[in-house]
């Protein structure tokens, strides 16, 4: 049989060559120029046709070669529909599609090959711009299939019986209306999808494992669309098809797309369109599913199109000889085989020669039961299915939820779930992202109740479709055309070129949601950059991308710039702000992890504009909150500062290093030989005041945030100058009281320097002598990033946002009026309340006595019990004050952080640093005298930084008569120049910044001691 077909092909091929040659001569003699396709490349790809051994053999006869049939259609062992035996059936094979006489007149119009079937008059829903805004091709006839696709649909849409033929076998079989169809039977027990005798239902038209397509073609690869250089100009991620083939040449003429073919569309003389027959040959048996090329990718990852070939033809499955997967004959994705860009991470690493070895379970992704290729071999068809489930966009495999709604994450979860339930064979596995996302649905153990703040709390919807191609068709700043008014958020203009509508695409707004593809470009992601190919928003509201045509900065975005797509100017469209009135100032403020109804209840954070918060040039929202002493009435009420800051006066160092340049923010580990340069930052990789961090250094999986801390204060032994004996944390080694991964964690070893700024810090990967840590930043199969966490707000470690009130203090987690049980808060100190902070800021800096005074009075400050001077440079915090105990009942110590966190109120960081991102929107804080020349002289650098001090909204001012040093009758929450805020305390020698307020049932009206915050001094 094979020999016959090859011989036939050879004869026909010679005839075609002779006809083409004669035609060329004839055209020349007639004066008509002959134009061969300039980009066509010679090809001699052989193929084998044998329809009798396929499912397209609908005759009553058995298939001649059952082995070949099973190799092609496994797991099906036999045809699931065929003609009945006897007079109501037929033993003819070709008659179900072709007839030598009386063919379809509709078929003649599209030059169908003597078509023996009526074409369906059904109305269809096509895959087009209405369905997918990333679709940029031009339909032949919007809303209707054209060309040879209509021939295929005359069976595959399920509306016409397979035996309904125009010209049935035998004399008198002409039946143009199909009233007496050939009777069909269903050997495998399936039922017809439509009328009796129609194509079997399979799993149904809305499922993947079926070939009844129905009339809704939105879950099928687009057809009846032009594929030409015009499309290439819109989307460069295609192979250049060259000029269309024109008759007298045929669609089998070699082109850059061969062995795939363009077919006719609007003109029967021009082959310029994608139709069903572009990928399928209904007679071919070289590859399963009638494909013209392999549906597996060779593991030879060449970098040029010239190396691409369809594999050797054969009669076994999978085909032998490798070759390119069928998709890549049309699609040219950067980072994929036959493209010079670095390999996509799903293939491996072209630079190191390490290729992915994740292997599929038998039969996964609709493969044969005997096939277990690696992911790289299945390639495109891991994530895409040309005939996928109804409701999935961009033909995403399994891309719907249980209700049939689009859910792209389900495509990713095929691999990115626990290995046991994934499509991957053990021992290979992918990062288990699904479990991370599901943490918000399953609760978070002893740390609270569901939801925890995982990103999946947001709605999953179709509205936004991410940018993958050169033209920013769907928008980079998400929600830009659907902004909800926000008190703190705007107004803001949309970035230029943010959203350019495609031809025929409806102007539907973006929808609040989150999908994997909002942050990851699955086609371009590499092992060194998981955000490769994504666009982002810069700190100045511009567009940054390496892939788009019109950008403000052409490069790969930094991680925080990807976050700003949703968490920037349009935040309120995604994570709503929650507003209430601050007790201390009467200003409108945002709820930031604390509830105005029950302050002791830590809740999920609400939204805010992180772009504005991290932008050093942002102007404070409340400039009237900056006050100075009234020159005309020094002891009277404060007056507005005529020159308030016109810049962001304090922020975490995400865009650039922070304004606080004090030496207490130096790195300790790298300065162990120079004590005067030691600061409070952990990690051997150099985190310091001169460095930057990313959003994902705090917002990440809890796998990398473990911090147990230790018992305090009695069970810790303190060494010289009050430093605890936690040396093993400082020098980078580990014990149970140390962070697992001290410092930033964003840049693991699989990523390198592709998008790391000079000021970014690589992670400190610790040794693991106890071999107890099951997750590693070094392991590319470990889930990383802000997908989900057992801690609220998707934080890598716990950060407790419970707060007290002006009259109530926190004793543990309970609000109490008066003293805590035991007389102070030390019995309820829990380092887990601050575990997030202690991953970078050493706990020792906050709970270690700064020094021991030799006696009362400023003159005895900074001296130990023997009177020896302890220089300020030995301290790890600038928040200190002489004559102040670390714990209630002590008369010395001086570490005010320890007093607040351990010794008196059991306060949380969140009390004084209510917005840990920035002070630019601080509403419940009056900043006093920051430009006072005496204040600057006593505290160099303080006019440039407010130390992220922005008080929580339940703190109020000291009303007249409450404060021991309150002489103005001010009723505001004040922080700043101690000479103005607390003049009496200033006269006692405490010349540092001071606060005057009431919280936790205490009237606070004291200053710290003076210090500098510039040039690494302390």
Residue 706 Ramachandran class (φ > 0 left, ψ -120 to 50 alpha, else beta): beta
Mean per-residue pLDDT of the chain: 80
pLDDT exceeds cutoff 70 at 317: no
User: Binning pLDDT at 50, 70 and 90, where does residue 393 land?
Assistant: confident
Output the pLDDT for position 10: 37
Pair of tokens at residue 567: 């968490």
Output the pLDDT for position 25: 36
Output the pLDDT for position 895: 83
Q: Domain spans of the chain?
A: 45-221+266-293, 466-473+509-568, 574-596+603-700, 808-924
Q: Quickly list DSSP for 583-613.
A: TTT--EEE--SB-SS-TTSB-------HHHH
User: Binning pLDDT at 50, 70 and 90, where does residue 1010 land?
Assistant: confident
Output the pLDDT for position 228: 94
Query: Each residue of 348-357: pLDDT tens digit?
Result: 888 777 788 8
User: Apex CA 720: angle with CA 718 and CA 724, to 5°?
Assistant: 30
Output the pLDDT for position 86: 94
Query: What is d(CA 296, CA 368) in angstroms, rounded to the nearest whole number?
Result: 12
pLDDT exceeds cutoff 80 at 605: no
Query: Each residue of 944-959: pLDDT tens digit?
Result: 789 999 999 989 988 6
Output the pLDDT for position 671: 77
- Minimum mean pLDDT range among 338-352, 538-552, 674-688, 757-771: 757-771
Output the pLDDT for position 23: 39
Question: Long-range contacts of range 881-887, CB-CB < 8 Å, 24 or more positions apart?
Answer: 881/990, 881/992, 881/1006, 881/1007, 881/1008, 881/1009, 882/853, 882/858, 882/989, 882/990, 882/1009, 883/853, 883/856, 883/857, 883/858, 884/1006, 886/713, 886/849, 886/850, 887/713, 887/824, 887/826
How far the first Cα of the chain sits from its last, in Å, is: 90
Output the pLDDT for position 449: 44
pLDDT exceeds cutoff 70 at 546: yes
Query: Each residue of 422-480: pLDDT tens digit?
Result: 999 999 889 999 888 877 654 443 333 444 445 544 444 445 566 665 665 667 888 87
List residues bridging with 588 in a β-sheet: 581
For residues 728 and 738, is the Cβ–Cβ distance under 8 A? yes
Query: Each residue of 183-215: pLDDT tens digit?
Result: 999 999 999 999 999 999 887 666 666 678 999
For residues 788 and 432, is the Cβ–Cβ distance under 8 A? no
Output the pLDDT for position 18: 36
| Number of neighbouring beta carbons within 10 Å of residue 314 | 15
Rg (CA), the chain: 36
Query: Each residue of 738-757: pLDDT tens digit?
Result: 777 888 888 754 444 457 88
The distance from CA 656 to its chain's CA centroid, rounded to whole angstroms, is: 23
- For residue 873, say if its preceding peptide bond is cis, omega within 30 degrees of 0: no
Torsion of CA 89, 91, 97, 102, to 10 degrees: -80
Output the pLDDT for position 609: 93
- For residue 407, say if its preceding peptide bond is cis, omega within 30 degrees of 0: no
Output the pLDDT for position 4: 35
Query: Each residue of 293-309: pLDDT tens digit?
Result: 999 998 888 888 888 88
Residue 481's φ and ψ, nearest 5 degrees, are -100, 10
For residues 997 and 912, is the Cβ–Cβ distance under 8 A? no
User: Binning pLDDT at 50, 70 and 90, where does residue 918 land?
Assistant: very high
Rounded mean pLDDT, 607-619 = 94
For residues 748 and 781, is the Cβ–Cβ distance under 8 A? no
User: Binning pLDDT at 50, 70 and 90, where does residue 5 land?
Assistant: very low
For residues 182 and 83, is the Cβ–Cβ distance under 8 A? yes
Output the pLDDT for position 898: 84
For residues 738 and 684, is the Cβ–Cβ distance under 8 A? no
Output the CA torsion sign for 791, 794, 798, 799.
negative
Q: Which range, 309-323, 353-367, 445-459, 777-791, has the best average confidence (pLDDT)?
A: 353-367
- Minimum mean pLDDT range among 98-107, 582-591, 954-963: 954-963
Torsion of CA 794, 795, 799, 804, to 10 degrees: -30
User: Binning pLDDT at 50, 70 and 90, where does residue 180 land?
Assistant: very high
Rounded mean pLDDT, 275-284 = 96
Output the pLDDT for position 771: 46
- Minimum mean pLDDT range among 505-509, 569-573, 600-604: 600-604
Query: Each residue of 825-881: pLDDT tens digit?
Result: 555 778 888 889 988 998 878 887 765 555 555 555 665 556 665 566 667 888 888
Rounded mean pLDDT, 207-234 = 88
For residues 641 and 628, is the Cβ–Cβ distance under 8 A? yes
- Residues whose CB is less than 8 angstroms from the CB of residue 477 and which lie 6 or more positions away in sequence, other chains included: 494, 495, 498, 537, 541, 543, 564, 565, 568, 569, 570
Q: What percent of the chain has pLDDT over 70?
A: 77
Query: Each residue of 696-718: pLDDT tens digit?
Result: 999 998 888 877 665 443 333 33
Tell me the CA distances in angstroms from 80 to 55, 77, 84, 493, one per residue in order. Answer: 8, 9, 12, 59
The pTM of the whole model exceeds 0.85: yes
Output the pLDDT for position 624: 95
For residues 548 and 555, is the Cβ–Cβ distance under 8 A? no
Query: Each residue of 513-531: pLDDT tens digit?
Result: 678 888 898 898 887 788 8
- Residues whose CB is less than 8 angstroms from the CB of residue 191 and which lie 6 or more positions away in sequence, other chains included: 200, 201
Rounded mean pLDDT, 908-933 = 93
Pair of tokens at residue 307: 């190396």
Torsion of CA 16, 17, 18, 20, to 10 degrees: 80
Query: Each residue of 118-168: pLDDT tens digit?
Result: 999 899 999 987 777 778 899 999 889 999 999 999 999 999 999 999 999
Helices (H), 655-773: 727-730
For β-strands 974-976 and 926-928, DSSP reports them as parallel
For residues 577 and 520, is the Cβ–Cβ distance under 8 A? no
pLDDT exceeds cutoff 70 at 408: yes
């Amino acid at each position: 049989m094979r020999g016959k077909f090859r011989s036939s092909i050879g004869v026909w091929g010679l005839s075609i060559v002779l006809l083409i040659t004669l035609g060329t001569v004839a055209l020349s003699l007639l004066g008509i120029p002959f134009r061969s396709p300039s980009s066509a490349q010679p090809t001699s790809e052989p193929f084998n046709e044998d329809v009798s051994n396929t499912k397209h053999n609908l005759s009553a006869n058995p298939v001649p070669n059952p082995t070949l049939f099973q190799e092609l259609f496994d797991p099906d062992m036999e045809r699931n529909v065929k003609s009945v035996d006897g007079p109501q059936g037929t033993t003819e094979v070709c008659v179900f599609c072709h007839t030598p006489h009386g063919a379809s007149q509709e078929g003649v119009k599209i030059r169908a090959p003597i078509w023996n079937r009526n074409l369906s008059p059904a109305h269809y829903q096509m895959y087009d711009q209405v369905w997918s805004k990333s679709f940029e091709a031009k339909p032949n006839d919007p809303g209707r299939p054209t060309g040879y696709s209509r021939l295929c649909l005359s069976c595959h849409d399920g509306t016409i019986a397979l035996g309904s033929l125009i010209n049935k076998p035998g004399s008198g079989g002409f039946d143009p209306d199909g009233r007496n169809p050939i009777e069909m039977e269903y050997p495998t027990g399936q039922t017809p999808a439509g009328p009796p005798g129609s194509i079997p239902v399979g799993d149904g038209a809305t499922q993947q494992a079926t070939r009844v397509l129905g009339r809704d073609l939105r879950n099928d690869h687009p057809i009846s669309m032009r594929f030409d250089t015009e499309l290439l100009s819109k989307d460069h991620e295609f192979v250049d098809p060259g000029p269309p083939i024109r008759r007298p040449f045929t669609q089998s003429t070699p082109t850059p797309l061969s062995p795939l073919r363009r077919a006719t569309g609007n003109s029967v003389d021009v082959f310029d369109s994608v139709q069903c027959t572009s990928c399928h040959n209904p007679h071919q048996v070289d590859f399963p599913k009638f494909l013209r090329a392999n549906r597996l990718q060779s593991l030879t990852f060449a970098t040029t199109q010239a190396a691409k070939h369809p594999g050797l033809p054969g009669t076994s499955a999978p085909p032998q000889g490798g070759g390119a997967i069928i998709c890549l004959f049309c699609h040219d994705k950067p980072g994929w085989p036959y493209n010079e860009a670095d390999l996509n991470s799903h293939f491996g690493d072209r630079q190191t020669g390490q290729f992915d070895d994740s292997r599929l379970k038998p039969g996964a992704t609709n493969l044969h039961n005997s096939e277990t290729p690696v992911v790289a071999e299945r390639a495109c068809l891991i994530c895409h299915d040309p005939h996928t489930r109804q409701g999935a966009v961009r033909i995403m495999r399994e891309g719907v939820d249980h209700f049939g709604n689009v859910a792209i994450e389900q495509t990713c979860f095929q691999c990115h779930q626990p290995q046991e339930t994934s499509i991957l064979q053990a021992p290979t596995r992918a990062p288990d992202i699904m479990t991370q996302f599901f943490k918000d649905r399953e609760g978070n153990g002893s740390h609270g109740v569901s939801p925890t703040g995982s990103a999946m709390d947001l709605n999953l919807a179709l509205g936004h479709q991410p940018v993958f191609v050169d033209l920013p068709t769907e928008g980079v700043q998400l929600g830009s055309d659907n902004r909800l008014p926000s008190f703190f958020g705007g107004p803001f203009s949309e970035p230029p070129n943010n959203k350019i509508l495609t031809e025929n695409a409806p102007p539907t707004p973006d929808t609040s949601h989150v999908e994997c593809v909002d942050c990851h470009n699955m086609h371009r992601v590499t092992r060194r950059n998981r955000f490769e190919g994504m666009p982002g928003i810069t700190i100045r509201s511009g567009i940054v991308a390496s892939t788009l045509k019109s950008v403000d900065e052409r490069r790969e975005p930094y991680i925080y710039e990807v976050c700003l797509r949703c968490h920037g100017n349009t935040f309120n469209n995604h994570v709503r702000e929650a507003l209430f009135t601050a007790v201390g100032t009467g200003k409108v403020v945002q709820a930031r992890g604390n509830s105005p109804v029950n302050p002791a209840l830590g809740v999920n954070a609400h939204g805010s504009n992180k772009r504005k918060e991290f932008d050093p040039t942002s102007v404070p929202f409340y400039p009237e909150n900056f006050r100075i002493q009234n020159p005309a009435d020094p002891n009277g009420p404060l007056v507005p500062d005529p020159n308030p800051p016109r810049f962001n006066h304090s922020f975490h160092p995400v865009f650039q290093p922070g304004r606080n340049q004090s030496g207490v923010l130096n790195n300790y580990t790298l300065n162990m030989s120079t004590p005067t340069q030691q600061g409070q930052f952990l990690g051997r990789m150099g985190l310091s005041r001169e460095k930057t961090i990313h959003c994902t250094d705090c917002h990440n999986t809890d796998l990398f945030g473990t911090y147990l801390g230790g018992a305090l204060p009695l069970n810790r032994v303190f060494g010289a100058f009050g430093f605890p004996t936690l040396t093993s944390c400082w020098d980078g080694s580990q014990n149970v009281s140390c962070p697992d991964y001290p410092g930033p964690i964003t840049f693991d070893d699989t990523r390198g320097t592709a998008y790391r700024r000079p000021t970014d810090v690589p992670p400190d990967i610790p040794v693991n002598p106890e071999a107890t840590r099951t997750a590693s930043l070094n392991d590319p199969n470990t889930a990383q990033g802000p997908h989900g966490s057992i801690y609220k707000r998707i934080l890598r470690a716990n950060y407790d946002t419970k707060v007290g009130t002006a009259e109530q203090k926190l004793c543990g987690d309970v609000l109490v009026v008066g003293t805590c049980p035991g007389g102070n808060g030390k019995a309820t100190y829990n380092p887990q309340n601050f575990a997030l902070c202690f991953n970078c800021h050493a706990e020792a800096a906050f709970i270690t006595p700064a020094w021991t005074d030799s006696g009362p009075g400023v003159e005895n400050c900074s001296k130990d019990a023997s009177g020896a001077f302890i220089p300020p440079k030995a301290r790890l915090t600038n928040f200190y004050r002489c004559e102040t105990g670390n714990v209630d009942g002590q008369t010395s110590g001086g570490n005010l952080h320890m007093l607040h966190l351990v010794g008196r109120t059991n306060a949380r960081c969140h009390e004084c640093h209510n917005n840990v991102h920035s002070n630019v929107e601080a509403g419940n804080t009056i900043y006093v005298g920051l430009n006072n020349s005496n204040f600057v002289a006593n505290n160099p650098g303080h006019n440039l930084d407010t130390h992220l001090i922005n008080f929580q909204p339940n703190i109020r001012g000291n009303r007249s008569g409450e404060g021991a040093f309150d002489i103005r009758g001010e009723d505001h929450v004040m922080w700043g120049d101690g000479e103005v805020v607390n003049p009496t305390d200033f006269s006692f020698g405490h010349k540092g910044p001071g606060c005057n307020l009431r919280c936790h049932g205490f009237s606070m009206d004291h200053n710290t001691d003076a210090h500098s915050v510039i040039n690494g001094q302390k």
